[in-house]
A and B are shown apart, each in its own frame.
Chain A
Amino acid sequence: SQQGEEDPQALSIQEGENATMNCSYKTSINNLQWYRQNSGRGLVHLILIRSNEREKHSGRLRVTLDTSKKSSSLLITASRAADTASYFCATARGGGAQKLVFGQGTRLTINP
């Protein structure tokens, strides 16, 4: 069943603007992760936020997590054309090996 659901499904902005993508999920989680995918191939891990964390930063990325609302957001500041990709959130419910459940993704287009 679908766990993470991203919103919006597609986002188009101008280079230099900030991009915000949201993710909602249904069950309790151990951590939530964001991935980027270029050209429909392998995904690249961007950032992981644990259930007891509320905000995390990595370079131009800022992730927030609200476990009471079962939602997360990914903010990319000062966007660049190279940020054009699909972005997926994924949730882990814990255990020795983390089976991640992925959402449908947000397609982000940065216009030069």
Chain B
Amino acid sequence: GAGVSQSPSNKVTEKGKDVELRCDPISGHTALYWYRQSLGQGLEFLIYFQGNSAPDKSGLPSDRFSAERTGGSVSTLTIQRTQQEDSAVYLCASSRTGGDYGYTFGSGTRLTVV
């Protein structure tokens, strides 16, 4: 597609439920990144993919968070047993690799855990 697409744009869930957030990167971008941003804060790195593999999962806050990427394209971030502190905007970005490239971000998913 022309840009990075994230769905849903907004998600309200009850504490304890599982949620899945989807990211569809720009075609041909081999790198895909997940960040989250709490209100008024900077971006917190979660995980990145190079192709289908995830060389760096260091930012995942707990084992309730997992992510996968299939076919070198779409990625899903799953949060199990959601907690109120998981409420944030989850941002996905993609980029080319092999040189110095900027990211293209999606519009994010605003997750609210009630």
Q: Which of B60-68, B70-78, B79-87, B92-100 lies at the interface? A: B92-100
- Which residue from chain A places its CB closest to the CB of B59 in the assembled complex? A99
Q: Please judge, given known A-B contacts A96-B97, A97-B55, whether A105 and B42 are in contact too, CB under 8 Å.
A: yes
- B103 touching A45, Cβ below 8 Å: yes
- B100 touching A30, Cβ below 8 Å: yes
**C-alpha spacing A44/B103, complex, angstroms:** 8
The answer, yes or no, to whether A92 is at the interface (CB within 8 Å) is yes
The answer, yes or no, to whether B7 is at the interface (CB within 8 Å) is no
The answer, yes or no, to whether A102 is at the interface (CB within 8 Å) is yes
- A31 touching B100, Cβ below 8 Å: yes
- B100 touching A97, Cβ below 8 Å: no
- A97 touching B42, Cβ below 8 Å: no
Q: Which of A14-22, A35-43, A59-67, A76-84 lies at the interface? A: A35-43
**C-alpha spacing A93/B98, complex, angstroms:** 13
- Residues of chain A contacted by B105 (CB below 8 angstroms): 35, 42-45
The answer, yes or no, to whether B89 is at the interface (CB within 8 Å) is yes
Residues of B within 8 A of A (CB): 4, 30-31, 33, 35, 37, 39, 41-43, 45, 48-50, 55-56, 89, 91, 93, 95, 97-98, 100-108
A-B CB contact pairs (8 Å), 21 listed: A2-B42, A40-B39, A41-B89, A41-B107, A42-B91, A42-B106, A42-B107, A43-B103, A45-B102, A45-B105, A48-B101, A96-B50, A97-B31, A97-B48, A97-B49, A97-B55, A98-B101, A99-B45, A99-B48, A99-B56, A102-B43
